A and B are shown apart, each in its own frame.
Chain A
Amino acid sequence: EVQLLESGGGLVQPGGSLRVSCAASGIIFSRYAMNWVRQAPGKGLEWVSAISASGGTTFYGDSVKGRFTVSRDNSKNTLFLQMNSLGAGDTAVYYCATGSRLGYCSGGSCLGGFDSWGQGTLVTVSS
C-alpha cells in the first residue's frame, strides 16, 4: 500500500520561508514523478509543482514560480518543497501526490498520475 506522509507545515510570517517534506513508502519512489498540490481554506485544488523521477526536471505553477523549489532525495524516499517569500496567498494545505511511473507512460499521460495522495500539511502565513 502506497503511503505518503507530509510534514513540516506550520505558522510562518509573511516574507518568511518554510520547507515541507513528503515521505513515501510502499512504492519504488525513484521510479515515480511526484507532484505538490495545495488547497487554500474553503477553496479549490491548485497544482503547485512537479518533479521527474530522477529529480532532473522540475515544473511550477505560475503563482509560485521563482519562489518555490521542489526537490527529492531518492535514497531517503522523500520529496521536498522549499517555499520562500511566503505571502498570505500561500496559506493552504499542501498535498503531495504520485505522478506517473517511469516507463509506463507516453505523451501527456506522463504528466498525470495523482492516484495516491498524502494527508496534507497546513501552512499558515500570518503575522
Chain B
Amino acid sequence: DIQMTQSPSAMSASVGDRVTITCRASRGISNYLAWFQQKPGKVPKRLIYAASTLQSGVPSRFSGSGSGTEFTLTISSLQPEDSATYYCLQHDDYPLTFGGGTKVEI
C-alpha cells in the first residue's frame, strides 16, 4: 500500500501569511494527487486535483505543486475563512490513501 505522510499535522499562522503543507508518498504516484479542505462539521471539499489543477470556484490563493513522491499545497495569503483541516489523497493505486491531515489555525 502507498503511505501518505503529511506535515505538519497542525500549525498556527496569521492572516496574510504564506502557508505550505507537504505530502510525501512512499513511492512515486506521478501526479495522481488531490487536496481537500474540511471545515469543522462540514463535508470535505476538493481544492486541487492532478496535483496542481485548481478546482473551479476555489480562490487562486490556493495552489498545488509536485510530482512523483513530494507534493505541496500552498496558500499564498492566508485568510480567516481558510481555518480548516487539509488532506491529501493519492489515487495512483488501490487502496487509495489519505494523508493524516493538517489543521490550520488562524
Q: Which of A's residues lie within 8 Å of B, judged by CB?
A: 35, 37, 44-47, 50, 59-62, 95, 107-109, 111-115, 117-120
Contacts and interface: CB of A to CB of B under 8 A. Distances in A.
B55 A115 contact: yes
A114 B34 CA distance: 9
A113 to B, nearest CB: 8
A82 B41 CA distance: 25
B46 A114 contact: yes
Interface of B: 1, 29-30, 32, 34, 36, 38, 43-46, 49-50, 55, 85, 87, 89, 91-101
A107 B100 CA distance: 25
Interface SS of A by simple majority: mixed
A115 B36 CA distance: 9
A47 B96 CA distance: 6
25 contacts: A37-B44, A44-B87, A44-B98, A44-B99, A45-B36, A45-B44, A45-B89, A45-B98, A45-B101, A47-B95, A47-B96, A47-B98, A62-B95, A95-B44, A107-B32, A111-B32, A111-B94, A112-B50, A112-B91, A113-B91, A114-B44, A115-B46, A115-B55, A117-B44, A119-B43
Contact of A47 (B29, B45, B89, B100): B89
B78 to A, nearest CB: 21
Nearest to A115: B46
B43 A118 contact: yes
A105 to B, nearest CB: 10
Contact of A60 (B36, B49, B95, B101): B95
Nearest to A43: B101
A47 B2 CA distance: 13
A44 B43 contact: no
Contact of B32 (A61, A109, A120): A109
A111 B44 contact: no
A47 B91 CA distance: 10
Query: Taking each of B36, B45, B94, which has the highest tally of chain A beta carbons within 10 Å of its own beta carbon?
Result: B94
A111 B91 contact: yes
